[in-house]
Amino acid sequence: MNPVTYALGIAAASLTLVVVAEMLRRRKLRERHAVWWVLAGIVALAIAVFPGLLTAASNLLGVEVPSNLVFFASIAVLFLVCIQHSAELTSVESRMRNVAEHAALLELRVHELEQRSSSGDAS
Amino acid sequence: MPVALSMTLIVMPALNEEETVGAVVAETLRELPGVSCLVVDDGSTDRTAEIARAAGALVARAPYNLGVGGAMRVGFRYARDHGYRAVVQVDSDGQHDPASVPTLLALLDDADVVIGARFAGVGDYRVTGPRWWAMRVLSAFLSAFTGTRLTDTTSGLRATGPRALTLFAQHYPAEYLGDTIESLVIAHRAGCRIAQVPVAMRPRAGGTASHNPVKSAVYLGRAVVALIFALVGAPRSVAADRLEPKAAP
Ligand SMILES: Nc1nc2c(ncn2[C@@H]2O[C@H](COP(=O)(O)OP(=O)(O)O)[C@@H](O)[C@H]2O)c(=O)[nH]1
Ligand SMILES: [Mg+2]
């Protein structure tokens, strides 16, 4: 393999890991969302450093073109992460709706109490 | 004996209905002495809430748009927490005649949900195109599913008795069309009885309907999807997973 390509692979994988680590450190990403990206970054780095790993894994699984294994694994991970995000979005939406409904009821209650106390003052 | 009007909460979902909501609230309170009227306004950009309040309604305002389903759940929760025995959903655009509410309430003796059906012979309400087809298909499915003849499952005029009220306060669906279709499936699955009564519909008193021809075309597909999801969904029951603590009265 061309040394530039080799370096490029390592740089890209390291960059991913550094970005994820930094976002975790700044609390911009919660651990439970970062798991997939950390795992993917580590696997990518391992393969970038030791390309033999990919060939070995491909042979083991009977995948003729090793890069196809990379595509397959990447798509599978992205797919699962997307589903996880959709599920979380759904639950966040439903919680937001609960909060909004609750806020509407509380506002109504505040209004009622205000009216009651102002009419009480008047009498 | 039918539920007393003083134990009945009229819930009106209202989105940008300043032109009509005042008159509808006033008419409702006049026609139905002793009734309480709650207007749920979720993100209107006009004076809907002020006008409704001035007309004598209770007004709950949600911080953003929840759709008719979300608005109705606010109404059901309010009713549950304040001990109302029945909720009647009435549109705030003047299409429903408040005078038909006692007819609906009378049927609550034998049913938990009573739908005011617009095509059942009374009045001359007409819908055309994909919306009409969607309504027909849905009604046929839901009639078979619930074992009752229902001709207008998407009607926004419906009465809910004490049992279904508790169920809906927890599980009223907010998805598109969920308030009409899925709610019937949920109610039937929880053992509630559904009935319908013919009502006359009036034209909108003002303002504009929330749907347009493009939306109507999409309606059929979404309606069927909504129905499928409702049917494959897990059954809900009244007692299960009560998430929110009951507010003090
Ligand atoms: N709170 C609330 N009310 C809504 C919303 N969309 C429609 N409505 C109300 O629901 C009722 C029925 O709506 P409309 O557009 O007339 O539909 P149609 O009667 O089925 O043709 C009206 O009183 C509307 O103001 C919404 O997103 N939120
Ligand atoms: Mg209408």
How does the average pLDDT of chain A come out, rounded?
90
pLDDT of residue A8: 92
Please list the residues that pair with B60 across neighbouring strands: B40
pLDDT of residue B243: 42
| Closest residue by CA, ligand 1 atom 16 | B209
Cα of A40 to ligand 1 centre, how many Å? 47
Report the nearest-CA residue for atom 27 of ligand 1: B67
The residue ranges of chain A whose pLDDT is under 70 are 121-123
Taking the CA of residue B42 as reference, the ligand 1 atom at the shortest distance is 1
Q: Is the ipTM of this complex over 0.90?
A: no
> B8 versus B181: which is more confidently predicted?
B8
**One-letter amino acid for residue A102 of the chain:** H
DSSP strand pairing (B158-160 vs B8-14): unpaired
Tell me, what's the pLDDT at B103? 92
Question: Which residue of chain A is at minimal alpha-carbon distance from B245?
Answer: A102
pLDDT reading at B242 higher than 70:
no
Q: Do the chains contact at B59 and A108, CB–CB below 8 Å?
A: yes
Q: What residue segments make up the domains of chain B, in order of their start? A: 5-240
Q: Given CB atoms, is A103 within the 8 Å cutoff of chain B?
A: yes
Asked whether B210 lines ligand 1 (CB < 6 A), one says yes
Q: Does B168 touch chain A (CB under 8 A)?
A: no
Contacts of B11 in chain A (CB under 8 A): none
> Measured between CB atoms, which of A97, A98, A105 is closest to B60?
A105
The model carries a pTM of: 0.82
- Average pLDDT of the residues in B173-186: 82
Ligand 1 pocket member B152 (CB < 6 A): no
Closest among B231, B143, B138 to B189, alpha carbons compared: B231
* DSSP annotation of B119: S
Looking at the complex, does the CB of residue B242 fall below 8 Å from at least one CB of chain A? no
**Integer CA distances (angstroms), A46 to A51, A54, A77, B148, B237, in order:** 8, 9, 17, 64, 51
Burial of A65 (0-12, 13-18, 19+ CB in 10 A): exposed
Q: For residues B227 and A83, give the distance between their C-alpha atoms in angstroms, rounded to a whole number.
A: 23
- Write b or e for each residue in B21-59: b if 16 or more Cβ atoms lie within 10 A of its Cβ, otherwise e: bbebbbbbbeebeebbbbbbbbebebbbbebbbebebbb
Q: Assess whether pLDDT exceeds 70 at residue B246.
A: no
User: What is the per-residue pLDDT for B98?
Assistant: 92
Distance (Å, rounded) from C-alpha A76 to C-alpha A71?
Answer: 8
At the fourth CATH level, the homologous superfamily of domain B5-240 is: Spore Coat Polysaccharide Biosynthesis Protein SpsA; Chain A (3.90.550.10)
